[in-house]
Amino acid sequence: MDGSDKLRTSFDVDPDRYERARPTYPAELFDAIFERLPTAGTTHVLEVGPGTGQATRALAERAGRLSAVEPGARFAERLARNYPTVEVHHGDFETVDLEPHSFDAVVAATSYHWITGEDRIARPHELLRPGGWLATIDMVQVGDPVDRGYFERVQPIYASFGDHSHNWSPPMRGAIDPKLATEARDSSVFDDVTVIEVDWNQTYSSAQYRDLVMTYSGTLVMEPDKQQDLVDQLVAVIDDEYDGVLVRPLVAVLTLASAC
């Protein structure tokens, strides 16, 4: 298993924490997807990498039929238990056995960055009906004074653990350019590419932020003692310098592309 595979499969360790800590998504993004699909209740949607179901409820409420592909065994079990009407496939999106051209939409929320290479375009096109939609949602952290400088403040902590991303330069609201939008525009098999941004700031107590950081792949693959030390330091800054409360400035970004 190479490094990227280890990161991709790291989340499955603690479904309870993941379900508790990870945010859901704005309803208007799902409305934007389904207004492009056939009559409500008749659509067949495939969700890619649903985790424990942060987007699944909104999709299941709108779709006539919902299938899901989840690579984590514990996550797939949790998803099937929480959403018994969803057809859950345990496997990888790139290789799981699904009927070609049988879906009205392929939807991925905070998971499509794990799909690489030609599968990002070729695989959904293989599965979508003509005129079907590929829809991805990304949670993008942006630069915003609402965080009171916390994220810049903690970059030296990350650097001390060997994460050299301390040149903190997040995108700004309204200036986010999703990779998939460019890929779809440059392809010959998708058109009508649209990007929609919705502000989606999240507020955390220090304990809640500890939970969240412990669901990140980069944290999960650390050695346990280093993992604990990193998270302790990040949380201590919130308690000692930010009154125990952190606002994480986020934009939920929906990228839509129609299959030719």
Q: What are the pLDDT digits (tens) for 195-253? A: 999 999 999 999 999 999 999 988 998 999 999 999 999 999 999 999 999 999 999 99
Q: What are the pLDDT digits (tens) for 5-22? A: 666 667 778 999 999 999
Q: What are the pLDDT digits (tens) for 178-191? A: 999 999 999 999 99
- Cβ–Cβ < 8 Å for 121, 150: no
- Comparison of pLDDT for 42 and 164, the residue scoring more: 42
Cβ–Cβ contacts within 10 Å for residue 226, how many?
12
- In this predicted structure, what is the pLDDT of residue 9? 67
Question: Mean of the pLDDT values across residues 27-45?
Answer: 92
Domains of the chain by residue range: 3-144+171-201+250-259
> Is the model's pLDDT at 162 over the cut of 90?
no
Question: Mean of the pLDDT values across residues 152-159?
Answer: 93
The 8-class DSSP code of residue 160 comes to H
Residue position matching structure tokens 């989340």: 11
- Cβ–Cβ < 8 Å for 202, 141: no
- In this predicted structure, what is the pLDDT of residue 4? 55
Pairing of strands 128-141, 250-259: antiparallel
**In which region does residue 91 sit, left (phi positive, over 0), alpha (psi from -120 to 50) or beta (all else)?**
left
In which band, very low, low, confident or very high, does the pLDDT at 166 lie, cut at 50, 70 and 90?
A: low
pTM score, whole prediction: 0.94
- Rounded Cα distance between 159 and 142, Å, is 20
* Domain boundaries 3-144+171-201+250-259, corresponding CATH code: 3.40.50.150
> Is the model's pLDDT at 111 over the cut of 80?
yes
- In this predicted structure, what is the pLDDT of residue 8? 65
Among 149-153, 162-166, 211-215, the least confident range: 162-166
- In this predicted structure, what is the pLDDT of residue 3? 43
In which band, very low, low, confident or very high, does the pLDDT at 1 lie, cut at 50, 70 and 90?
A: very low
- In this predicted structure, what is the pLDDT of residue 2? 42
Max Cα separation, the chain? 55
Q: What are the pLDDT digits (tens) for 93-106? A: 999 999 999 999 99
Q: Is 142 helix (H, G, I), strand (E, B) or coil?
A: coil
The 8-class DSSP code of residue 38 comes to S
Q: Which of 114, 147, 109 is nearest to 27 (CA)?
A: 109
Q: At what angle do helices 119-127 and 179-186 cross, to 10 degrees?
A: 70
- Comparison of pLDDT for 73 and 39, the residue scoring more: 73
